[in-house]
Structure 1
Amino acid sequence: MNTNKRLEIFTRFRAANPHPTTELAYTTPFELLIAVLLSAQSTDVGVNKATRKLYPVANTAQSILALGVDELKSAIATIGLYNTKAKNVIATCQILVDQYGGEVPHSRAALEALPGVGRKTANVVLNTAFGDPTMAVDTHIFRVSNRTGIAPGKNVDIVEQKLLRFVPKAFLHDAHHWLILHGRYTCIARKPQCWNCLIADLCDYKPKTPAPDGV
């Protein structure tokens, strides 16, 4: 895929959705961090359902520590892997209180040192909470990048580095949101909706999916 095609792809994404953002509900960097931490192997809808109950009761590192691990487990019990996630959240909150005054650090190294926080989570927080031009490569972005030819790679690290290199700079801040949404709702895993895709004519995917009968 050449530079002009990539430019046109992201121009179309921006025209269709000028201000994309995460579908996780949050109001502060801390709420975002916890929501992303809880979202591993879970849907945003499921996480939002849990945090709608949790955040009115406890939405700071200090208040979640005061809540305690058992109460936290109860609050997030509808989310997969909630036992492990609750322990990680408590441990993360303890570090935030002890080392950062309860605030979320604006540092990749500091974020990745938190329990349960990997590179993808750190990238989401850095981009969405702090405005850094990072690329959080999840399964949707990995699939879309490879299927379309925007940034093919054998693993998420390669795809991340290629996206950072290939996405036009003017679009880099919002690119990972556009790609996630595109993978979640259009370029879906089993059968991409090529007939309903705004970049189908620019995409390298050859076996385009035809429109279903009656559409």
Structure 2
Amino acid sequence: MNKKEKALQMIEVLDKLYPDAECSLNYENPLQLLISTQLAAQCTDARVNIVAKDLYKKYPTVEAFANADISELEEDIKSTGFYRNKAKNIIGCCKIIVEKYNGTIPDNMKELLELPGVGRKTANLYLYEIHGKQGIVVDTHAKRLSNRTGLTKHEDPEKIEYDLQKVIPESRWADFCHKLVFHGRAVCNARKPGCDKCEINHLCSYYTKK
């Protein structure tokens, strides 16, 4: 079985297991998604959603974030970890959106990647959720499961992204990654994967080598 055949069989099983898999970050507008995705780096989506409830009441617009006091913003997002760097990037990102793009977040990969704190994972998720543009979102779950199942041998997220693009139908790119997140949380966790109860273990290189 080649990687493309394996990927298609994985999709078939994951579709049945997680038919409603979607982005687990709560957001009401594009700005909130962009900020929450940055906050989610090295932090759980659940924690980000808790922080976001008060954060977006305090900073309801891109201008509010651009003009935020950095020390105050650091305190507001402290529980998400790496808060100093995140606060610096969020303010810098929003200043550019205000000054260069008149308050409108760019709708393409090239310009998004020029914003502080925005990498390919954030940009791909944003472009899919807000503009319906397909992209491979390589978070920790997608990285771990793609390696364990043998869809890639790379550790670098960008190389993993390109490997998955070759074997996953483009119309399923983002959805497949959402399902990997759900399966990673439910079964294939980092420290102790539940291989014996995993419904894709027959397709998994990690399991078949055990």
Same fold (TM over 0.5): yes
Matches within 5 A, 1:26-65: 26-65=27-66
Counterpart secondary structure, 2:179: helix
CA distance in structure 2 between the aligned counterparts of 1:45 and 1:116, rounded to whole angstroms: 20
Matching residue of 1:126: 127
What are structure 2's unaligned runs of at least 5 residues? none
Matching residue of 1:157: 158
Structure 1 residues 174-183 or 12-21, which shifts more? 12-21
Matching residue of 2:188: 187
State the Cα distance separating 1:109 from its structure 2 match: 1.2
Cα deviation, 1:103-131, whole Å, max 9, x if unaligned, reads 21111111111111122221221222222
TM-score, length-normalised on structure 1?
A: 0.88
Matching residue of 2:97: 96
1:201 aligned partner, one-letter code: H
1:45 aligned partner, one-letter code: A
CA distance in structure 1 between the aligned counterparts of 2:86 and 2:76, rounded to whole angstroms: 12
Counterpart secondary structure, 2:79: coil
Which structure: greater helix fraction?
2
How many residues of Structure 1 are paired with residues of Structure 2 in the alignment? 209
What are structure 1's unaligned runs of at least 5 residues? 210-215
State the Cα distance separating 1:164 from its structure 2 match: 0.6
Cα deviation, 1:43-69, whole Å, max 9, x if unaligned, reads 212211111111122232112234432
CA distance in structure 2 between the aligned counterparts of 1:168 and 1:65, rounded to whole angstroms: 39
TM-score, length-normalised on structure 2?
A: 0.90
CA distance in structure 2 between the aligned counterparts of 1:125 and 1:74, rounded to whole angstroms: 25
- Give the RMSD, CA atoms, in angstroms: 2.0
Judged with a 3 Å threshold, the aligned counterparts in structure 2 of structure 1 residues 37 and 124 are, in CA distance, closer, same or farther, namely same
CA distance in structure 2 between the aligned counterparts of 1:176 and 1:58, rounded to whole angstroms: 30
State the Cα distance separating 1:154 from its structure 2 match: 4.4
State the Cα distance separating 1:208 from its structure 2 match: 7.7
1:34 aligned partner, one-letter code: I
Identity %: 39
